[in-house]
Every structure is written in structure tokens, then in C-alpha cells.
Structure 1
Amino acid sequence: MAMTEPASLPPLDELLDDAHVVALPMRVRFRGVEVRETMLLRGPAGWGEFGPFPEYGDAEAAAWLRAAVDAAWHGFPAPRRTRIPVNATVPAVPAARVPEVLGRFGTGVRAVKVKVAERGQDLSDDAARVAAVRALLPDAELRVDANGGWDVPTALAALERLGEHRLAYAEQPVPTVAGLAAVREGLADRGVPVLVAADESVRKESDPLAVARAGAADLLVVKAAPLGGVRRALDVVAQAGLPAVVSSALDSSVGIRAGLALAAALPELPYACGLGTVSLMREDVLREPLRPVDGALELREAVPDPGLLAARAVPADRRRWWLERVRRVHAGAAGAVPA
């Protein structure tokens, strides 16, 4: 089955006719971010979010623009479910801050993703953080996310130790597809019952199906924005033939709505999704942000409040930066795909 071809982009002036760039302060530092900047676009079908991180190049950012257009100009596929279970997310904070962070996700948390392999920290920091989560939530499903921060020997040693806290899976323990395969084989050889999930090896590779073909992962972590939108992400999951966890890209509620659409449309949803990350933000663009209640998010629309868009607007120089970025990305993406 061939991958769905992306639709052509609307003209630039139409794209930017109702565009808003906002800055959303974080409650805790997350993947190096303390204030999340992102652009929100309104189209004929609703709202979309264009929020590639500043360090991403224009070629990589093109998928994020297509995802925003997919949402705002074409809407979402029909849902199979309206309630999406979500995990709490614990950044690489000291173990003493774990109760505070988990408290932001409310009651009913049944799954937690813990960030590990943070630069400047070591395995003892990771072990203390995971142990603190397990002590607070003895029955929760735990998973760790290394963002490719380990090499194979370090990953095996770390997961053997962290696995003592009953981990369900490790997300992107090493950077490469070959490395994931080696970790998966090494864990099996050591009798460590931790599954391997691929994230960056799906969303940042030119071939998102390489992981599945190589037998390098037990499940996929999929994000609508970096894969080019909900429909293309559904294609990736269908062709990979592996269980999928839908996660966010540190989105506002507008981007989370696209993630919910993806999770709602999947044929099966065996794991809680990483779509509760608005809880890590102090501010949002909705009066009632998409934050989990009793461990889940209900499928509902995400329409930004005009007053909040104005209040969270970035300074003029940052708006110019984002507008110029969109112009470059649009020109490159439009030239790459025939209309």
C-alpha cells in the first residue's frame, strides 16, 4: 500500500490571513523549553498548529506546516472513540519535584512517562525519579523516554536497573534504527521484560517505516505534526503493523486536538497516549484547556479565545521571525509537491 501523498498547500496569503503567534510559559523546563512559541492558523475547517521547534530546519518544518493545513483546511477523520486515555509526563526534574509535577495531572493517573538520559544528569538521577513515581503510583503503567540519549551498552545497563520498577517500555533509548534493534535483542538476552518503542526513528527519518521493516521496535510513538498530519500518521501506523502510542509535540490545545483526532481514529489504542502535556504549561489559548480529567481527555473542539490570543501574542520581532519562517517553508514545500 502506497503512502498517502500530501495535498497541495493553500496560497501563502490565504495561509496567513488569520495567523497568530503565541508564547506559552511552561510550569517546568521540558526538553530545554521554558516558553513554548507556536503559530496557530485558522482555515475553512477550523484551527491548525504550526510549531516546529526553533532549531528544526525548513525541510523538517514542512511536515509540520502540512499537518497544520491538514487540520485547518481539511478537518479530521471520523472518530472510532471519544474518550482518549492519557499518561502523565514527568520531565527530568529532581525526584523531590515528582509529587508536584504529577499533581498537575489530577486524579486517576494510570500511566506515566518519565524523561531520562537528560544531559548533565546520570543514571542515579533517572533511577531516583522513576522510583519516586513508582512510590506514588504503585499500580500505574510506567514508561521512560530517553530521546535517543544513550548508546547501546548504556541503554542496556540503564534499562536493566530501571526495569526493576516494572517498566512497560522504553521510548527511543538510542538514536538509530540499528541501535534500537540491538537494544531490543540485548534486553531479550538479559531477560529484561521492557519493550522498545520508536519515536525519533519514525518522525525524524525520511522513511518512517524503516523501524518496522528492521524489526527494531515493539511499538511506535506517533505524532501528528512531524508526520505531516493525522491522515499520514494513520497511514504510517497501518503500514507498520505495530501498536501505536499517540503523543504530543509540546503543543497548545490546538495541536493536542489533532493528536486526539489521530488517537480517536486508530483501529486500536492499546496504550494511554502522551497528550496530557498542556498540564505542563502555565498558559494556553483556550479558556478551558485540553487537560486530562480522571486520566483521560474527551474529544472536543479546540477554538482559541480571541482575548487569550492577544494576551499571549509574541513581540513584533518574534512574529516577524515566524512569518519569515512560514514563507520559506511554504515556498520549499510548495515547490516539492505538484499542485
Structure 2
Amino acid sequence: MPLQVHYQPHKLQFKFEAGTSRGVLTEKTSWFVKIYDDAAPSIVGVGECGPLPGLSSDDRPDFEDKLQEICQNFNKLDLEIYSWNIPIILEQLVGSQWPSIRFGFESAMLDYLNGGKRILFPNPFVEGQRSIPINGLVWMGSQEAMLKQVEEKIAAGFDTIKLKIGAIDFDQECAILTHIRTHFSSNEITLRVDANGAFDASNVRDRLQKLAEFDLHSIEQPIRPRQQELMAELCETTPVPIALDEELIGNFDYAAKRRLLKSIKPQYIILKPTLLGGFEATREWIETAQRLEIGWWITSALESNVGLNAIAQFTAEFDNTLPQGLGTGQLYHNNIDSPLQIEKGQLLYNTALHWDFGGLNSSYLSSAT
């Protein structure tokens, strides 16, 4: 029998209102794709297609229609999967304009190729022999709510904390940073902030100067993307290292990626495989950044544990000691149970735990549709 692929939507429910400068999230839909062969029904590769509302370039009304079309085209082909032909299949079947679908299909094919055990990249992380340092994420909210989150992260053992800023009064956000620095030096707690493009040309320089007082590790995307001249100027003169995030989205051509980084010359880039088009696309960014001596780290994009697991295993393929942004697995009431755990600011894969897709339906991992 030829390989078949089917998908199923799953609406993830946040445990709290997740505030960003683009608004508040209470739920998010992902589509799980599964690849299998009826001749070997115990082997099912699973991937997650989860466009991020308001940010993914494929966050479009016709997303599910396109996913259905791609699945139908896949099912018409007599495909066999090998490590060497996955990029070819992705390019011909999905293309580059649907990055979260490409990420989901790439994940499912790698999972299938490795026996359908949710192991995409066999390495010490998935063997339980290595953990990944991660930052603790503080979501936007009232000053009181954000301070409470900070205290909870520190109590949980995080030594790198990332705060979403740009939604409440800037002075209140600075008061939160002042509170942290009053109690913890930069040697004790590393601070990152993420503005999600909330500043503009009229205030960004003054705000960077003010933020420099708190000895920050970096600020992500201080201004909206597609302002390359201004962003390049900021990166050249900034008192706080700048990390590009949204700026990378929608750049799928290798030459365009290199031109962007050479033009802006950021201190760091933030890599979200779901938004960038999967692992090989992310690897292009990493290799380009390293040649240009630009730092980088990898971040999840509100995936369930299915997507987070794939991204974490990919991250563990690299020798990068910076804390990664992979702490989003505890956001949802109805996540997929997995071996992923967080302990003292480290993401680890507990091989004694098992995957449970019961939140979808009991037959999801069978070969039946």
C-alpha cells in the first residue's frame, strides 16, 4: 500500500489569558497530520501544523482548505520516504508559502522514518541523557500579575527570564525590571525582553537607552518588521543587543536570508521552525548567522507538545549553550501528554513517561482515518 496522510484539528485552550502586544490569546488551533502505511499499521508518523494567529505568513482563511488539498495530493502519489528525499517531497508538495504545513509534514515524515515513536532526531536529549536550558516566559498583564509570574519563575529555578513588554505603560514595565534588578544582579538572573515590534521611530531610541539601565541580555524585535534601514541603524548603535524575530518571517529564499542579515547586522536572531518553514529552512538561518558571527537561539511558537518535542530534538542537534525559548509546553489545559518535563529551568525528555493522544481520540495513532 502507498503511504497515506490524514489530518485532524485540535483546539488548544490556554490556562490563562496570554497577553502580547498583538492582543490576548485564549485558544489556538493546531492541525495534526499523521503518515502511515496500512501494510505496517503500528508505524505512524505525527506532525503539527500550527500557524500562529496574526503572525504566521500562512495564517489565512483558506489554511485548512490548502492542508486538505496537500493531503489529497500526497495520497495520490506512490511515495516512499527516505532522509534524502524529504526536502524534495516538501518542495514539490507544499512549497515555501505554507511554512507551518511544511513544518508539520517534515516532522511527520521524520517521525515515520524513525519508526513512529515521536523520535525525529535520535540524540542524547531524546535518550534522556541531556537537558536543554530554557528561559522562563513572563506574559504581558497588569504590573501585579507580571511581578507574580517573575517570582514564580525564579522560585521554579529559572536563571534566565524573558518578559513580554509593550502592552502596558512603559514606566510600569520599567518598574518591574527595577524590582527584579533590586533583588537580583545580572550575574544571578539574566533578563530578556520581547517588544514584538511595539516601539516606533519616535520612541525606540529613548526606550532602548532606558532599558539599558537594567543590564539586559537582549531585546527582541523592538520595532515592527520591514523597516530595514531603521533596524540596521538601531542594531549598529543600540545599548541593548537586538534580536530579530518577526523580521525573519516570510523570507524563504536563501539569498534573501543572507541579504537581510548582512544588511541589518543584528546581534541575535530568534528562530521559530513553525514560522520559518521547518528544520532545513531553520538550518539555513543558523548556518548563515554563524558565518556572519550573529548569535541565535530557537523558540517554540505556541505549539502543543507534539511540535515542541520536534523542535526540542532539533535544537539538541546543535552545541548552543544559550537558553532556548522552549518553555511553552505547560500553557494548555488540553495539551498532549508527553515525556517532556521542565525542571529548574531545563527542558528534559523523561524516557519513563509515555505519549498519550487520548485528548484527540483513542484511535488517533492507529492507521485508521
**TM-score of the superposed pair, with normalisation by structure 1:** 0.76
Matched residues in 2 for 1:34 and 1:132: separation? 28
Q: CA deviation at 1:230?
A: 1.7
User: Is 1:235 aligned with 2:281?
Assistant: no
2:177 match? 130
Correspondences of 1:271-310 after superposition (within 5 Å): 271-286=322-337, 290-299=340-349, 304-310=355-361
2:82 match? none
CA-based RMSD of the aligned residues comes to: 2.9
2:77 match? none
- The amino acid of 1:63's aligned partner reads P
1:67 match? 103
Matched residues in 1 for 2:200 and 2:312: separation? 33
| SS of equivalent residue, structure 2 residue 206 | helix
Given candidates 237, 258, 261, the residue that maps to 1:212 is 261
Alpha-carbon contact 1:105-1:276 (below 8 Å) kept: no
Cα separation, partners in 2 of 1:254 and 1:235, compared to 1, 3 Å = same
Given candidates 237, 250, 256, the residue that maps to 2:308 is 256
Cα separation, partners in 2 of 1:136 and 1:54, compared to 1, 3 Å = same
Matched residues in 2 for 1:36 and 1:149: separation? 22
User: Is 1:245 aligned with 2:293?
Assistant: no
Matched residues in 2 for 1:130 and 1:63: separation? 35
Matched residues in 1 for 2:101 and 2:205: separation? 37
1:93 match? 141
2:69 match? none
Correspondences of 1:1-339 after superposition (within 5 Å): 14-16=4-6, 19-31=8-20, 32-44=24-36, 46-55=45-54, 56-57=59-60, 58=63, 62-75=98-111, 76-79=120-123, 82-102=130-150, 103=152, 107-118=156-167, 121-135=168-182, 137-138=184-185, 139-175=188-224, 176-187=227-238, 192=239, 194-206=240-252, 207-241=256-290, 242-266=294-318, 268-286=319-337, 290-299=340-349, 304-310=355-361
- The amino acid of 1:28's aligned partner reads E
| SS of equivalent residue, structure 2 residue 166 | coil
Matched residues in 1 for 2:179 and 2:138: separation? 11
Q: Could you say which structure has the greater relative contact order, defined with CA pairs below 8 angstroms and 6 or more residues apart?
A: 1
Percent identity, aligned pairs only, is 22
**TM-score of the superposed pair, with normalisation by structure 2:** 0.70
Where is the helix percentage greater, Structure 1 or Structure 2?
1
- The amino acid of 1:127's aligned partner reads C
Q: CA deviation at 1:295?
A: 0.7
Matched residues in 1 for 2:282 and 2:122: separation? 15
Matched residues in 1 for 2:101 and 2:184: separation? 38
Q: CA deviation at 1:24?
A: 2.3
Alpha-carbon contact 1:87-1:111 (below 8 Å) kept: yes
Matched residues in 2 for 1:134 and 1:244: separation? 25
Q: CA deviation at 1:106?
A: 5.8
- The amino acid of 2:46's aligned partner reads W
Matched residues in 1 for 2:174 and 2:104: separation? 38
| SS of equivalent residue, structure 1 residue 39 | strand
1:333 match? none
Could you report, residue by residue, the CA deviation over 1:289-325 in whole angstroms, capped at 9, with x for unpaired residues? Answer: x3421111114689752322249x9xxxxxxxxxxxx
- The higher radius of gyration belongs to 2
Cα separation, partners in 2 of 1:42 and 1:236, compared to 1, 3 Å = same
Matched residues in 2 for 1:220 and 1:47: separation? 28
Matched residues in 1 for 2:183 and 2:300: separation? 24
Alpha-carbon contact 2:96-2:277 (below 8 Å) kept: no
Cα separation, partners in 2 of 1:156 and 1:300, compared to 1, 3 Å = farther
Cα separation, partners in 2 of 1:94 and 1:137, compared to 1, 3 Å = farther
Cα separation, partners in 2 of 1:78 and 1:234, compared to 1, 3 Å = farther
Matched residues in 2 for 1:231 and 1:300: separation? 26
Q: CA deviation at 1:91?
A: 1.2
Q: CA deviation at 1:279?
A: 3.0
Alpha-carbon contact 2:18-2:139 (below 8 Å) kept: yes
Q: Which runs of 5+ in 2 are unaligned?
A: 37-43, 64-94, 112-119, 365-369
Comparing 154-163 with 19-28, greater Cα deviation is found at 19-28
Q: CA deviation at 1:26?
A: 3.2
Cα separation, partners in 2 of 1:67 and 1:287, compared to 1, 3 Å = closer
Alpha-carbon contact 1:243-1:269 (below 8 Å) kept: no
- The amino acid of 2:47's aligned partner reads G
Cα separation, partners in 2 of 1:60 and 1:197, compared to 1, 3 Å = same
| SS of equivalent residue, structure 1 residue 157 | helix
Matched residues in 2 for 1:170 and 1:63: separation? 25
Matched residues in 1 for 2:96 and 2:179: separation? 36
